[in-house]
Structure formats: structure tokens, C-alpha cells
Chains A and B, each alone.
Chain A
Amino acid sequence: MIPISHYLILSAVMFTIGCAGVLTRRNAIIIFMCIELMLNSVNLTFVAFSAYLGDSAGQIIVFFVMAVAAAEAAVGLAIVLALFRNKKSVDINDVNILKW
């Protein structure tokens, strides 16, 4: 049988990849996708613990995470649309008015 640590290592690796993407990429949509990646890695941890501990709460939380992700997708992409309309770009380096 596969011990839980393998699932967790997979989750950690995917989380880190998502994190690296968020920190380095400049296209707002790709950053958005990297965030989805991180969310999914966390979902994997939840499901793994749920299965190994025999507790259904973990899978319920994954359900709610998905609901939040859906909401985030709708609002986030709407923001990207509005941004593109104003700046003619989705490069987040062009969006630096959030200062001073």
C-alpha cells in the first residue's frame, strides 16, 4: 500500500510549483491558474487525510474549496477583463498603482 506521505509529498511539490509560478510569472491569467494549482494541491491533502483517517469532513471541505474557487474564477476573470479594457495589457507589472 502507498503510505500517506507519498500523497503529501506530491501535494507539497505541486504547491511549490504553483507558488513559484505566482512569484515569477507576469501574465495575470497564468498567475490565476497557478493559484488554482495551489488550491488543488491543498485539496489533495484534504482528500488524502480524509481517506486515511476515515473522516468525511475533509472531502466536504474540498467541496467548499471548489465553490470558493468557482466564485474566485468568476470575479478574478472579470477583474482581468476590466484590467485589460483599461490597460490594454494583462501584465501585472503594468498594474502598480497600489502604492503610496
Chain B
Amino acid sequence: MHHYVGLIVLFPLIGLIVNGLFGRHIRSERVVGWIGSLAVGIPFLVAAAILYGMLGSPVEERSNTVTLFTWIAAGSFQVNAAYQVDQLSILMTLIVTGVGFLIHVYSIGYMHGDRGFWRFFTYLNLFIFAMLNLVLADNYVLMFLGWEGVGLCSYLLIGFWYEKKFAGTSITWTGDAANKAFWVNRIGDFAFMLGMFLIFREFGSLTFSTVMDSASSLAPGNSTMFWITLLLFIGATGKSAQIPLFVWLPDAMAGPTPVSALIHAATMVTAGVYMVARNSLLYALAPDTMMIVAVIGALTAIVAASIGLAQNDIKKVLAYSTVSQLGYMFLALGVGAFTAGIFHVMTHAFFKACLFLGSGSVIHAMHEEQDIRKMGGLAPVMPKTYYTFLISSFAIAGFPPLSGFFSKDEILWSAFSQGSVLLWAVGALAALMTAFYMFRMVTLTFLGTPRWAKDKHPHESPPTMTIPLIVLAFLAVTGGFLGIPAALGGGNALHHWLHPVFERALDRLPTAHEYSHMTEYLFMLVSVVIGVSGFWFGRKIYLANPDADDTFAAKAGGVFRTLSRKYYIDEGYMRGIVNPLVATSDRFLSRVVDTALIDGFVNGLAKVTASFSGVLRLVQTGVVQSYASMIVVGLLLVLGLILLG
């Protein structure tokens, strides 16, 4: 079955071409929308068929490479357009196409009546195409192509409503937000490229299997491995919004909500997690980087979660929540629980996509209002949105037996058993904050008395929007059953499925301490208590007083303001990095280096040439006879050289 992997990538490409070239002339929104959706839906079915084929074959035969054509051949360096179909990539493909399909269908309803309807679906298909190349690539170069491709789509879609205003630090319209995302990602991409070069220098190849085979003979603690993995991780911090490069993601909410759901929650931002997991063996050989990954992950989780406590824009809350959840994933990868990280990628894709789409439904109903302080009491008006949103909130807060409970608990347990108590404590605190801000948001948005203006008439969204919500909510409930831990009597199917991919990496990691099931139960109980208390406080405080934020601001003004201003990180970057860079560019690079030195050199060269030619052009008299004389002189020289020389 794996031979058909090319089809998975082909369909989004077809959709992209059809909608991109002819979409403008297709009058019917439905046709455009369904072309775009099916271009993602059919690959999902193909991927499912491939998965079925893999389930029916023995473990050793599940990983295959399909080479389509030779892309770059230069001497001994060869890069193929080849797709690696294995347990990890097919899982990612299913997530990308499955969630992607639902979000495409949702967009048909959400983008109804938009001037750039066909453009939107073209970009979405382009994104899916690039993302599939990223996850299916069998080498770093093709992966990088997808990596840059999704970055481009992210840029295009953040600035999709390019004439719209968008407020932020040094940001006045959506184009600024798109530029910010692009530039911040560039830093990470540059590091990724450096890592790639280092890999090529070290292993002489950029194909995953070759690199991994050569790497498996190395001993852990190699300094080159440290730099390779660190550079790749810096690449991941850009794409996956980790400290210190996470600042672009909250501003990426300038894009349409389905984009936030698809690119900035479910798929693209998890590319970094996937990339680290794909290189798990290299990371296992660099324990120092693993430590950095874990610490950065935990820090991001708690910093982003705490900022999320004080945000009032419904999408901003979800954005910081995404950053925080991505932090969890890196925490898992850092302590060596690769499966747990990928598990959380999957469950997070379900519930976060559902939450974003739900928020989109709310924004749609409130006529582009995003401030949760101006909502309230929407539950009776839009029950489907409310209940799916609520279920997903429970899932992200870690209520058993919803999906978020299993994945988050596995991460926290790994952080404790394979990492340290400190990492666990940070993660647990972030989980408490997560539950709190989620239910603060649910309460402010859906419960209590309506605070919206009388002229607004909220309504439930059309079926193209609610059906994806229901499907995603269902997945958010059931998705966790793939990874029920052994302590609860589950088989942890996902763990066994992915084990062959991470086998060599896990062999090189120190074995985890063995703890009794009692300890594990205790930690689960703590997780549940954390989730429930966050839920209880968030609901109680904000149900009783929707303006509780004002009370906090009055009592702990400094702390509250720091949180709502995002620790002044954006301001710090502006003052510490951007402004000095701009000033240096303007005053030194532009005026001194460019204008004086480079222009001076180039213009000087031109002037010297001009003055020489001023002399030389006197030879060009315009009289044909003098040219003929020169021909004869040349003839004489040639003849003389031959005869006398």
C-alpha cells in the first residue's frame, strides 16, 4: 500500500493548481470549497488505507521509502524527492489530513462571502502540500522545503485580510503580524540550515536513514552532536513557538480563525516536535541538548500559561495556551518520552483545533467581536458550539477519561520519572493555570449574563461549521484511548506502535527509575485534583464576578499588569534587539557601508571606467576607413606572427 504515498501529496497539489488558477472564475463558493476540502479528504483516505496495510504487515516491514525522482544530483551529493512511510510519518499524515479536512469543511462556512474565498482555499491547499512534504520527507532537504513552505503559508494566511487593522506591540495591521511571524521564523530556519550543513559535514548525507545508521555507532556526549541537535532545536523553537522565539504566535492570530486552528495550533507549530522526534537518535546522543529542550519546554509551558491568565482576546488566550501546550511536548521530548510528545501532538491537535474552531464560531456569531469581557451568556444561544467547546476545555484541562488527561499525565509522569521533581512541579503548576484560564474563558464567554450590545444578534453557526466541531469534540474525548498507560490496565497502543521508530534512541537513554503503580496513581490523582481545582476556581470566580480581573488588578497591580503585558517580552525585544538593529542598519549599514562604501566603490569604478573610455572612445572616429585600417593592422599582426614568429 505504501507505494501510493505519492497520491497523498498529489491531491493537495491538484487542489492548489485548480483553485489557484481557475478559482477566481468559479462563481460558486461551494465548488471551490469542496475542491479544496476533497484535495485534503482523499489523501486522508489514502493515508488510512496505507495505515491499514501497515497494521496487517509485520513490524519489520512497516517502514518503507518511496522514491519519486532524483531532485538534486551534484557529484556524490544526491537528494531525492523521496517519502519515508513509517509509523511516525503516517500518524502525522493522518493528523494533518484528518484535522485539515475538518478545518477545510469548516472554512466553507466560516469564509462565506469573503472576497478572497478561492485565495484562502488555495493557500490552505498549499499549506497541506508543504506540511505533507515536511512530515513524509525522507531527507532533511525535502523536509526543509516543507518547513519553509509551511512558513510561507503561515505568512500568507496571517496577512490574509491584508487591509485589516490588528493591534499589538509595534503592530498596527495584519501585514506587520505576518512579517513578524516570518522574521522570527527566519532566525529558527537559519539555525535549522546550519544544523543541516553540520549534519552533511559530519555524515556526508542528508537522508534520514543514512544519517541515523552512521549516528548509531557514535557514543553519547559527542560535542558535534550537541551543536547539531542544538541548532535543529533552535529551528524548532522558531517554528514551534518556544522561548525565546515564541513571540510571533500570539500575533499570528491576526489571520482568519480556521488558519489559527490548522496552522497555529494543530499542525504547523507541531512541526518542531515532529522534527525533534524524527531525530530522536541524534538527541539521545546529546544529553546536554536533551536537558536544554526539557528546560525550555517547561519554561515555555509555565510562562505562556501565566500570560494566558490575563488575556482578554479569546484567540490570544488560545494562542498562549497553544504555546504552553507545545512547551509540554518539548518537555516530554527533552526527558526522552518521545511517544508522549507525539501523543500530545495528536490529542492537542484534536482539542485545540476544536477550541479554535469554536472560538471562530463565537467570533462569527458576535460579528467579529473577540473580547471575552463583552460576551457572556452565549451557551443557550449556540448550544453546539458551547458543548463542543466545553468538552475540549475539559480535555485540555486534563479531566479523565478525556484525551488530554492521558497525554498530559504521561508527560508529567515522564517528567518526574525520567527527569526531575522540579520539571514535574513546573509542569503541574502550568497545568493548574491551564485549567484556570480555560474555565475563566468558558465562563466569561458562555455563562453568566450577556454583556454584549443590544444590536448584536448571536446565532448558532451553519452545519458546515458545527459538524467539524462535533467530530473534533468526539475525537477530543476518544483520542486518548490510544495511549492508556499500563498502570490503568491499558495497552498503550500508541507506545507500541511508535516504539520501532524510537527504539535506537531509547536504547541510548538512561533507563527510567521503576516506580510502583501506587506512585503513579498518586501522581494521576494530583493531576486530576489540579485540573478540577483549576476548573472550580475559574468557574466560581468569574461566574460570581465577570469583572474579577479588575479586582486582581487593584490588589496585585504589578503582577497582573506584567502578565497582561506578556512580561514585556515584546517591548524588550523591540528595545533590545529590533530598535538597535534598525538603528545600526539605518545609521551605519545604510549610510556608511552602503551609501559611502559600497556605492562609493561601485560609482567610483564606474567613474574610472568612464574616464578611461573617454580617452579610448577617441579611437572610435566613426570613419569606416580608420576601422578598415585597424583590420589591416590586425591582419598584418596575425600574418606576421605566423610567418616570422
Chain B, range 610-627, C-beta contacts under 8 Å to A = 617, 620-625
With an 8 A cutoff between CB atoms, is A2 at the interface? no
Q: Do A98 and B622 touch (CB < 8 A)?
A: yes
Contacts of A26 in B (CB 8 A): 625
Q: Do A22 and B623 touch (CB < 8 A)?
A: no
Which residue in B617, B622, B628 is a CB contact (below 8 Å) of A22?
B628
Contacts of B629 in A (CB 8 A): 23
With an 8 A cutoff between CB atoms, is A86 at the interface? no
Known: A19-B632, A23-B632. A93 touches B617 (CB 8 A): no
Q: How far is the CB of A11 from chain B (nearest CB, A)?
A: 15
Q: Per-residue 0/1 for A62-100: is the Cβ within 8 Å of any B Cβ (1 yes, 0 no)?
A: 000000000000000000000000000000110111111
Q: Per-residue 0/1 for A9-38: is the Cβ within 8 Å of any B Cβ (1 yes, 0 no)?
A: 000000000010011001000010000000
Contacts of A93 in B (CB 8 A): 623
**In the complex, what residue of chain B is closest to A20 when comparing beta carbons?**
B632
Q: How far is the CB of B637 from chain A (nearest CB, A)?
A: 15
State the CA gap A97–B629 with chains docked (Å). Answer: 18
State the CA gap A19–B622 with chains docked (Å). Answer: 19
- Residue of B617, B620, B623 ringed by the most chain A CB atoms within 10 A: B623
**In the complex, what residue of chain A is closest to B613 when comparing beta carbons?**
A100
Q: How far is the CB of A82 from chain B (nearest CB, A)?
A: 15
Q: Do B628 and A99 touch (CB < 8 A)?
A: no
Known: A19-B632, A23-B629, A23-B632. A92 touches B624 (CB 8 A): yes
State the CA gap A100–B619 with chains docked (Å). Answer: 10
Known: A19-B632, A23-B632. A96 touches B625 (CB 8 A): no
Q: Do B625 and A92 touch (CB < 8 A)?
A: yes
Contacts of A22 in B (CB 8 A): 625, 628
**In the complex, what residue of chain B is closest to A92 when comparing beta carbons?**
B624
State the CA gap A94–B168 with chains docked (Å). Answer: 73
Contacts of B617 in A (CB 8 A): 99-100
State the CA gap A13–B25 with chains docked (Å). Answer: 78
Q: How far is the CB of B642 from chain A (nearest CB, A)?
A: 16
Q: Do B628 and A96 touch (CB < 8 A)?
A: no
Q: Do B624 and A98 touch (CB < 8 A)?
A: yes
State the CA gap A93–B624 with chains docked (Å). Answer: 8
Known: A19-B632, A23-B632. A99 touches B621 (CB 8 A): yes
Q: Do B628 and A23 touch (CB < 8 A)?
A: yes
Which residue in A23, A92, A95, A99 is a CB contact (below 8 Å) of B620?
A99
Q: How far is the CB of B614 from chain A (nearest CB, A)?
A: 10
Q: How far is the CB of B584 from chain A (nearest CB, A)?
A: 44
Contacts of A19 in B (CB 8 A): 632
State the CA gap A99–B620 with chains docked (Å). Answer: 6
Contacts of A31 in B (CB 8 A): 625
State the CA gap A22–B623 with chains docked (Å). Answer: 12
State the CA gap A29–B632 with chains docked (Å). Answer: 20
Q: How far is the CB of B374 from chain A (nearest CB, A)?
A: 74
Q: Do B632 and A92 touch (CB < 8 A)?
A: no
Q: How far is the CB of B625 from chain A (nearest CB, A)?
A: 6
State the CA gap A92–B621 with chains docked (Å). Answer: 12
Contacts of B625 in A (CB 8 A): 22-23, 26, 31, 92
Q: Do B623 and A92 touch (CB < 8 A)?
A: yes
Q: Do B632 and A100 touch (CB < 8 A)?
A: no
Q: How far is the CB of B215 from chain A (nearest CB, A)?
A: 66
Chain B, range 590-634, C-beta contacts under 8 Å to A = 617, 620-625, 628-629, 632
Known: A19-B632, A22-B628, A23-B628. A100 touches B620 (CB 8 A): yes
Q: Do B621 and A96 touch (CB < 8 A)?
A: yes
State the CA gap A96–B617 with chains docked (Å). Answer: 13
**In the complex, what residue of chain B is closest to A93 when comparing beta carbons?**
B623
Q: Do A99 and B622 touch (CB < 8 A)?
A: yes
State the CA gap A19–B629 with chains docked (Å). Answer: 9
State the CA gap A92–B617 with chains docked (Å). Answer: 19
Q: How far is the CB of B616 from chain A (nearest CB, A)?
A: 11
Contacts of A92 in B (CB 8 A): 623-625
State the CA gap A98–B619 with chains docked (Å). Answer: 12
**In the complex, what residue of chain B is closest to A28 when comparing beta carbons?**
B624
Q: Do B632 and A97 touch (CB < 8 A)?
A: no
State the CA gap A74–B195 with chains docked (Å). Answer: 71
Contacts of B624 in A (CB 8 A): 92, 95, 98
Contacts of A100 in B (CB 8 A): 617, 620, 622
State the CA gap A22–B632 with chains docked (Å). Answer: 11
Q: Per-residue 0/1 for B175-211: is the Cβ within 8 Å of any A Cβ (1 yes, 0 no)?
A: 0000000000000000000000000000000000000
Q: Do B632 and A96 touch (CB < 8 A)?
A: no
**In the complex, what residue of chain B is closest to A99 when comparing beta carbons?**
B622
- 25 A–B contacts, CB within 8 A, in A order: A19-B632, A22-B625, A22-B628, A23-B625, A23-B628, A23-B629, A23-B632, A31-B625, A92-B623, A92-B624, A92-B625, A93-B623, A95-B622, A95-B623, A95-B624, A96-B622, A96-B623, A97-B622, A98-B624, A99-B617, A99-B621, A99-B622, A100-B617, A100-B620, A100-B622
Closest 3 CB pairs of A and B: A99-B622, A96-B622, A99-B620
Other than A95-B623, A96-B623, give 17 A-B pairs with Cβ distance below 8 A. Answer: A19-B632, A22-B628, A23-B629, A26-B625, A31-B625, A92-B623, A92-B625, A95-B622, A95-B624, A96-B621, A96-B622, A97-B622, A99-B617, A99-B620, A99-B621, A99-B622, A100-B620
